[in-house]
Amino acid sequence: MEKHIAVLPGDGIGPEVMTQALRVLAAVSEKFGHTFTTEEAVIGGAAYEAHGEHFPDATRAICAKSDAILFGSVGGPVSELHLDKWKGCEVNALLGIRKAFSFNANFRPVKVFPELIDICPLKKEVVERGIDILFIRELNGDIYFGEKKFFEKDGRRAAMDVAEYTEDQIASVANTAFQAARKRSKRVTSVDKANVLHTSKLWREVVHEVAKDYSDVALEDMLVDNCAMQLIKDPSQFDVILTTNMFGDILSDAGAVLPGSLGLLASASINAEGFGLYEPPGGSAQDIAGKGVANPIAQILSVAMMLKFSFSLQAEAEAIENAVSSALAKGARSGDIVQKGETAIGSVAMTDVVLAELA
């Protein structure tokens, strides 16, 4: 197979973990006989330095002619956030690219590795029931993209963000979720706030209409406040969680602490044509950037997701996932997942172990 990949390392730990992930991509292509060509482009603060914009046209053009986008992370260090380079960086880069390619479904799988059960913040008896959740978050609508403004009301400062959904936006991501559930344990929990919000009432109505085409998948509704509670109390009850842009942002971060480190999570943003962007949702971690200590697993697993989702290379993706699991089983630990008595290794050494397991 021949594919062309746009590589957007971005800021912070992005470039260093991307370098490691590309080593894994090269090893997989060699092992399975594929040709993956890559083209690098700037995004975020790195793009601002080069072009004065966080998501420049040149980057958009490189993405547009690629078969998939591999994304690192964007955002600046706390001490520099007042600089123009970092102002609006995440919003301009991330929301910009999501809008540009109509990425409307965001897949955020959350799995607790059996090898790392001890670093899950929940009680062992809760974790041992197994945690394997796929968050599917709508990514193109809701309060993120509705009208927003600052204004004056009765001489006082006021602000507003409009939450808006169309039935087509809801139906599209609902279809995505039901199809994903078919490949898993055939259960979807749709999360909304239908007791209060009109957008949620419409959400619930449309999700149930779409569900009629998936009679083999069980659908349950859950209110978002209850879902937040259940995620901590009994996360094993969930399989696919389908939800809105805003709720998905919050709930998926709550879910993301379950594996014990953000450095273990990958995500995919997909549009209706199946074009996708793959990224670790963990952020640029500027505090540890440039030290060679960042956990490369999230970026490596993003490569696996790309192979699976964009190129339908199931065996290749599983080879990477299995290599990561074996590396963890053999005791390879980066600083974010190290426990008392264990020794932390850096990004390169961690990737070396994954590559050895892959071979």
User: Which residues contact Mn ion (rule: CB under 5 A)?
Assistant: 249
The C-alpha atoms of residue 110 and residue 131 are separated, in whole angstroms, by 7
The C-alpha atoms of residue 93 and residue 89 are separated, in whole angstroms, by 6
Tell me the backbone φ, ψ of residue 19, rounded to 5 degrees: -55, -40
Identified catalytic residue from 225, 233, 287, 291: 225
Question: What minimum distance in Å lies between the beta carbon of 237 and ligand IPM?
Answer: 23
Active site residue 57: no
The C-alpha atoms of residue 46 and residue 41 are separated, in whole angstroms, by 9
DSSP calls for 92-139: IIIIHHHHHTT--EEEEEEE--GGGGGGSSS-HHHHTT--EEEEEEE-
Identified catalytic residue from 193, 214, 239, 336: 193
Active site residue 193: yes
The C-alpha atoms of residue 143 and residue 250 are separated, in whole angstroms, by 13
DSSP calls for 284-335: --GGGTTTT-S--HHHHHHHHHHHHHTT--HHHHHHHHHHHHHHHHTT---T
Question: What minimum distance in Å lies between the beta carbon of 81 and ligand IPM?
Answer: 13
From 171, 143, 348, 166, select the one nearest 250 (Cα to Cα).
143
Question: What minimum distance in Å lies between the beta carbon of 144 and Mn ion?
Answer: 11
Identified catalytic residue from 11, 239, 249, 336: 249
Active site residue 67: no
Residue 349 binding: pick among Mn ion, ligand IPM, none (C-beta 5-8 Å cut-off by kind)? none
**Positions 82 through 111 that interact with ligand IPM (CB under 6 A):** 90-91, 94-95
Site string for ligand IPM, 34-63 (x = CB under 6 A): ------------------------------
Q: Which residue is nearest to Mn ion (CB)?
A: 249
Contact between 26 and ligand IPM per CB under 6 A: no
Residue 63 binding: pick among Mn ion, ligand IPM, none (C-beta 5-8 Å cut-off by kind)? none
Q: Positive or negative, the Cα torsion across 147, 152, 157, 158? A: negative
Nearer to Mn ion, 199 or 252 (CB): 252
Nearer to Mn ion, 285 or 350 (CB): 285
Q: Which residue is nearest to ligand IPM (CB)?
A: 90
Contact between 158 and ligand IPM per CB under 6 A: no
Nearer to ligand IPM, 95 or 211 (CB): 95
Nearer to ligand IPM, 53 or 128 (CB): 53
Nearer to Mn ion, 239 or 279 (CB): 279
Contact indicator for 299, 73 with CB cutoff of 8 Å: no
Q: Which residue has the tokens 């559930």?
A: 181
The C-alpha atoms of residue 46 and residue 48 are separated, in whole angstroms, by 5
| Contacting residue, 56, 72, 281, 346, with ligand IPM by CB under 6 A | 281
Active site residue 225: yes
Question: What minimum distance in Å lies between the beta carbon of 99 and ligand IPM?
Answer: 12
Contact between 11 and ligand IPM per CB under 6 A: no
Identified catalytic residue from 132, 161, 253, 352: 253
Cβ atoms within 10 Å, residue 323:
22
Query: What token pair was written down for 203?
Result: 């959400």
| Contacting residue, 11, 138, 239, 249, with ligand IPM by CB under 6 A | 249
Let me know how long the chain is.
Answer: 359
Q: Which residue has the tokens 């799995």?
A: 111
Contact between 69 and ligand IPM per CB under 6 A: no
Residues at the site binding ligand IPM, with contacts judged by CB under 6 A: 90-91, 94-95, 249, 281
Q: Annotated active-site positions, please?
A: 144, 193, 225, 249, 253
